[in-house]
Amino acid sequence: MLFHTMVGSNDIERSKRFYDTVLATLGAGEGTRNIADSGHTRLIYNNGNGTNFIVSQPINDEPASVANGSTVAFSCNSPEQVKQLHDTAVANGGTSIEAPPGPRHTASLGTVELAYFRDPDGNKLCGIHFPA
């Protein structure tokens, strides 16, 4: 259903260092630089299944800001990968938020492995794994 998810960045070079390292834990390659018609730089990360994660300088030239109530969740292959994603993010300028990485028991989804963190611009991210 989704083609892409995009977050804003106030420092695209810092974001490239952060996301190239963090998303490598999920098997993603380096972000591809794309220059929009407006001249703004975007980083495109493609996982090979047609969906993209994009980091962009705001095209309206206003500072990037965090969307209240939004979270970008990255699908992980195992509980260990959830923790690795989180720990790599924190080691590279991200901030751990909410509870430590680990299982969460929910009424609607059962038990899932989750880890929440923010990127250097404050965007809320999550690693998630649904056990079989």
Q: Locate the domains of the chain by residue range.
A: 4-59+69-129
Contact 13, 55 (CB under 8 A): no
pLDDT digits (tens, 9 = 90+) for 25-84: 999 989 999 999 999 999 999 877 778 999 999 999 999 999 888 999 999 999 999 999
Class of domain 4-59+69-129: alpha beta
**pLDDT score recorded for residue 80:** 97
Smallest CA-to-CA distance from 18 within 4, 3, 5, 31 is with 31
Stated pTM of the model: 0.91
**pLDDT for res 20:** 98
